A = this chain, B = another copy of it.
């Protein structure tokens, strides 16, 4: 059977299964997730054997050690994947929640009730744990899910999906609610992206080139985020100890992730007091500084920043630094160069804190906190399905609720329209 026909078939069966999933009770969904966690651990040896095939092919292909490490599954990692499923089981079920309800003058009761989105497609790279994580979140929110993982992990992914599906079959849940596209050809992705009548949402997880490929080829809505150019603005009314602690944390605690700090903006009246000390501290921690002229006067160790530095998502121990005239100049810089991800002001001034919160329209806006908190788990959403830096549907870290929508519900007793 050719790829186009087979993908259309998978999508069509997923759509049918989504009707069953949308009606599945909370207990049935949680029991399924807990049994999936058990099954993954019970079948770890088989899973590790399938994973070994991917690792062997990867080595032959010359994948980097970092790539091979991300691909690798062992008992401990499988236990972590199982625990992640148990955590999703423990989250509250968003489906059926009535988020508000009001009465109309004609006594109609009108409300909004959370319902699943329907069928969600996840397109991701070579991390087999995503197969279980993403599936669990989609299913818990009452959706059917179609997974398309990286070709490097195809044997591992098929094994994981097979284990999860066998649990579903045992519990009388249609296995079509969790499908894995079984081809590694790019055509499989392209066909998936054409199923606009059957798939409600596509979430790509991976590097910028994967995401751009998906966006350019999809007729289905895509929730995405390309990069995180996160800013900390150090106000003239900042507590410098706190500012230093937050900048060190945001830049160095895990520099390779999207919520790490990339640019510091410093109020000109804070410059003399703050720049010399932060330059020393950060240099001692191995951070390369790139500053504008005003910054470099006070921190000669810094290299000269050019226009590209203000746009840069370094993802390593490099920090762009700029002196600004005031908070408005900082906000203007963020509007111009930011990626709508996360920005934090360090200040003890009440009005400025409130104004920064109101006026900066990135997906996470913080006062006196590290940008590293911009994460579904850290913000209290539970497990995270992704981050959106586009404003439609979801903006910022996305949890279970973001895999649902709301319908209007109307309770009447015979009302007709005049």
Show the binding face of A for B, using Cβ within 8 Å.
19, 22-23, 96, 102, 104, 108, 110, 113, 115-118, 200-201, 215, 219, 221, 239, 242, 245-246, 248-250, 253, 335, 344, 353, 357-359, 361-370, 372-374, 378-380, 390-393, 395-397, 405-417
Contact = CB atoms under 8 A, between A and B. Distances in A.
Contact of A22 (B110, B361, B363): B361
Contacts of A221: 221, 390, 392
A410 B201 contact: no
B407 A363 contact: yes
Given A108-B373, A408-B363, A414 B368 contact: yes
Nearest to A388: B405
Nearest to A364: B408
A397 B410 CA distance: 13
Contact of A417 (B96, B108, B370, B414): B370
A415 B102 CA distance: 39
A253 B417 contact: yes
Given A368-B412, A415-B369, A392 B200 contact: yes
Q: Which 8 A-B pairs have the closest CB atoms?
A: A369-B412, A249-B416, A372-B417, A366-B410, A393-B393, A391-B405, A242-B414, A364-B408
A117 B392 contact: yes
B379 A104 contact: yes
B365 A409 contact: yes
Contact of A108 (B117, B369, B414): B369
